[in-house]
A and B are shown apart, each in its own frame.
Chain A
Amino acid sequence: MEKYLLKLADDSLIMAQRLMEWCGKGPYLEEDIALTNIALDELGQANNLYELAAKLSDDKKTADDLAFLRYEHEYLNAHWVELPNEDYAQTILKVYVFAVYQKLLYEALANSEDKDLSVIAQKSLKEVRYHYTHAATWMKIFAGGTEESKERLTDAIERIWEYTQGLFAKSEGEDQLIDLNVAANLDELYSEFLKIIATDFHQFGLEIPAENHYMQKHSRTGYHTEYFGYILCELQYMQRAYPGCIW
């Protein structure tokens, strides 16, 4: 169970960390605030999930220990959230795909047999529904905008689509949790995901990625992309340099 919670929390934490890189540098003031709002929502979700994981762990770790003091191979997030922001089209693509995934995930977890998890899911669902609306709006604008905006978006899709399936990779022991109706059934979620992508992409006027598109493996195994070490460096710097520091 702890691994499952960590996988969910790590996704949100790293997504938040990546989006925060845009803080103060967004394309214009309003969108800067919109994106950092999303980052804050994700950070809040990570916090709730780490708190729950800390409560269940028997080695007296706190939520902060879990977020800040693990090593690279102990993080169970999907590769998708680690990928760099690049331009705004890729950032929006990352938010959009992640929102579709989280929407399906939290809808399923809202009915989880684990009451704590179900409460977190119900609260988070409202947040990610908005993330979806916001990101989908921008997907539509980029796809139907200028030649350049469309090209940037399709370039981003070509560049990182192979990491999408990794979001649906299972953590160790997850199958048992699915049998107990605690965790969401990811195989079902993935086929729902593909359906939503097909409908949306059609509406955006984008080419739907082929079903047999090459997909990267090993998300959520502790193996990461080359970008991950740098994220942790920045994320953990304060706690590593000044152990136990608070402010």
Chain B
Amino acid sequence: MATLDMWEVFIQTKPGLAHKHVGSVQAANSETALQNARDVYTRRQEGTMIWVIPSKYVVSSEGMDKEAFFDPANDKLYRHPTFYQIPNEVKNI
């Protein structure tokens, strides 16, 4: 099917949570992309909301200089917010 585009699928498992990438579907337009995502990825009650985004709009760091991109963060421990106590009542952090 030459005319089908790829779409990336993001699912929110509960209201308030972030949408997580779960995979991709093929579809001819946004309407069918959403329906296909619903049929392929939420058959077992996985979600309460779906986003689909054309794969062609995803900009990837693939092929860039990995060392320059990621290594400088290696020794900067102070950037981690690990010095705080998180109250038990706070979920989903």
CA distance A33 to B29 in the complex (A): 17
Q: Are B39 and A37 in contact (CB under 8 A)?
A: yes
**Other contacts beyond A28-B1, A137-B32: 9, CB < 8 A:** A30-B26, A30-B36, A30-B40, A31-B36, A33-B36, A33-B39, A34-B39, A141-B29, A141-B32
Which residues between 65 and 121 of chain A lie within 8 Å of chain B, taking CB atoms? none
Judge if B4 is at the interface, Cβ distance under 8 Å: yes
Decide yes or no whether B89 CB sits under 8 A from chain A: no
Give how many A residues have a beta carbon under 8 Å from the other chain's beta carbons: 12
Question: A133-147 toward B: CB 8 Å interface, digit per residue (1/0)?
Answer: 110010001000000
**B interface residues (Cβ-Cβ under 8 A, vs A):** 1, 4, 25-29, 31-32, 35-36, 39-40, 43
CA A138 to CA B35, docked complex, whole Å: 11
CA distance A47 to B39 in the complex (A): 22
CB-based contact B27/A30 at 8 Å: yes
With a cutoff of 8 Å between Cβ atoms, the chain A residues found around residue B27 in the complex are 30
Please name all residues of chain B whose beta carbon is closer than 8 Å to the beta carbon of A34 when the two chains form the complex: 35-36, 39
Complexed CA–CA distance, A141 and B35 (Å): 14
Question: Which of A's residues lie within 8 Å of B, judged by CB?
Answer: 27-31, 33-34, 37, 133-134, 137, 141
The complex places the Cα of A30 from the Cα of B28 at a distance, in Å, of: 11
Chain B residues near A137: list those with CB within 8 A: 31-32, 35
CB distance from A194 to the nearest CB of B (A): 26
Of the A-B pairs whose beta carbons lie under 8 Å apart in the complex, a sample of 29, sorted by A's number, is A27-B1, A28-B1, A28-B4, A28-B26, A29-B26, A29-B40, A30-B25, A30-B26, A30-B27, A30-B36, A30-B39, A30-B40, A31-B36, A33-B36, A33-B39, A33-B40, A33-B43, A34-B35, A34-B36, A34-B39, A37-B43, A133-B35, A134-B35, A137-B31, A137-B32, A137-B35, A141-B28, A141-B29, A141-B32
